[in-house]
A and B are shown apart, each in its own frame.
Chain A
Amino acid sequence: METLGATADRGTIPFTVQADDARAVERAQIAKARSGDLSAFEALYRANASRIYGLCLRLCGDPSLAEDLTQEAFVRAWQKLDSFRGESAFSSWLYPLAVNVALTERRSRRRRDLRLVVTDDLAPFEKPDPAARSQGPESQLDLERALSSLPPGARSVFVLHDAYGFKHQEIAEMTGVAAGTSKAQLHRARRLLREVLKP
Chain B
Amino acid sequence: MNCPDVEERLSAYVDGDLGEAEFQDLELHLATCVACQSEERELRALLIEAPGLAQEVSPPRDLWPGIAARIRTQRRPRVFTLGSTLAALAAGLALLAILTGRGPFLPVAPNAQSHAAAAGEAARLAELERQYDRVTAELLAVLNARRDSLPPETMAAVEQDLRSIDDALGRVRVALASDPTDPGLNHLLASTHQKKVNALRHVVRLAAQL
A residues neighboring B (CB under 8 Å): 9, 11, 34-36, 38, 41-42, 45-46, 49-51, 53-55, 57-58, 63, 66-67, 70-71, 74-75, 78-83, 85, 139-140, 143-144, 147, 158-159, 162-165, 183, 186-187, 190-191, 193-194, 197-198
Question: Chain B, interface size: which category?
Answer: 35 or more
- Docked CA distance A197–B52 (Å): 16
Q: Write the nearest CB–CB distance from A42 to chain B, whole angstroms.
A: 6
- Docked CA distance A159–B54 (Å): 8
**Contact: A58 with B53, CB < 8 Å?**
yes
**Contact: B67 with A75, CB < 8 Å?**
yes
**Contact: A187 with B11, CB < 8 Å?**
yes
Q: List 5 A-B contacts (CB under 8 A).
A: A58-B54, A71-B70, A78-B76, A158-B50, A163-B51
Question: In this assembly, does B74 line the interface, its C-beta being within 8 Å of a C-beta of chain A?
Answer: yes
Question: In this assembly, does B88 line the interface, its C-beta being within 8 Å of a C-beta of chain A?
Answer: no
**Contact: B11 with A143, CB < 8 Å?**
no
| Chain A residues positioned under 8 Å from B58 (CB to CB) | 49-50, 53
Interface segment among B39-47, B107-115, B188-196: the answer is: B39-47
Interface segment among B18-26, B92-100, B145-153: the answer is: B145-153
**Contact: A70 with B7, CB < 8 Å?**
no
Q: Is the interface of A mostly helix, strand, loop or mixed?
A: helix
**Contact: A79 with B56, CB < 8 Å?**
no
A49 touching B146 in the complex, CB below 8 Å, given contacts A71-B67, A82-B79, A194-B39? no
- Docked CA distance A166–B177 (Å): 57
**Contact: B70 with A163, CB < 8 Å?**
no
**Contact: B57 with A143, CB < 8 Å?**
no
A46 touching B64 in the complex, CB below 8 Å, given contacts A82-B145, A162-B50, A193-B46? yes
For A46, give the chain B residue with the smallest CB separation: B64
A49 touching B60 in the complex, CB below 8 Å, given contacts A78-B71, A79-B74, A187-B12? no
- Docked CA distance A54–B148 (Å): 25
Listed from nearest, the 8 A-B pairs whose CB atoms lie closest are: A50-B56, A54-B57, A162-B50, A163-B53, A83-B148, A187-B11, A53-B59, A163-B54
**Contact: B7 with A191, CB < 8 Å?**
yes
Partner of B56, one of A11, A85, A191: A11
Q: Write the nearest CB–CB distance from A165 to chain B, whole angstroms.
A: 7
- Docked CA distance A50–B76 (Å): 24
**Contact: A83 with B74, CB < 8 Å?**
no
**Contact: B72 with A38, CB < 8 Å?**
yes
- Docked CA distance A49–B50 (Å): 21
**Contact: A143 with B55, CB < 8 Å?**
no
**Contact: B46 with A144, CB < 8 Å?**
no
For B47, give the chain A residue with the smallest CB separation: A162
- Docked CA distance A80–B68 (Å): 15
**Contact: B61 with A194, CB < 8 Å?**
no
| Chain A residues positioned under 8 Å from B147 (CB to CB) | 83
Q: Write the nearest CB–CB distance from A46 to chain B, whole angstroms.
A: 7
For B52, give the chain A residue with the smallest CB separation: A140
For A189, give the chain B residue with the smallest CB separation: B11
Question: In this assembly, does B101 line the interface, its C-beta being within 8 Å of a C-beta of chain A?
Answer: no
Q: Write the nearest CB–CB distance from B102 to chain A, whole angstroms.
A: 36
Partner of A144, one of B39, B53, B59, B80: B53
For A49, give the chain B residue with the smallest CB separation: B59
A158, A162, A193 — most chain B CB neighbours (10 Å): A162
- Docked CA distance A138–B203 (Å): 54
| Chain B residues positioned under 8 Å from A165 (CB to CB) | 51, 54
| Chain A residues positioned under 8 Å from B145 (CB to CB) | 82-83
Other A-B pairs, 13, CB within 8 Å; known A35-B79, A51-B56, A82-B77: A9-B55, A11-B56, A42-B68, A50-B56, A50-B57, A54-B55, A57-B57, A66-B59, A143-B49, A163-B52, A183-B11, A187-B12, A190-B43
**Contact: A159 with B42, CB < 8 Å?**
no
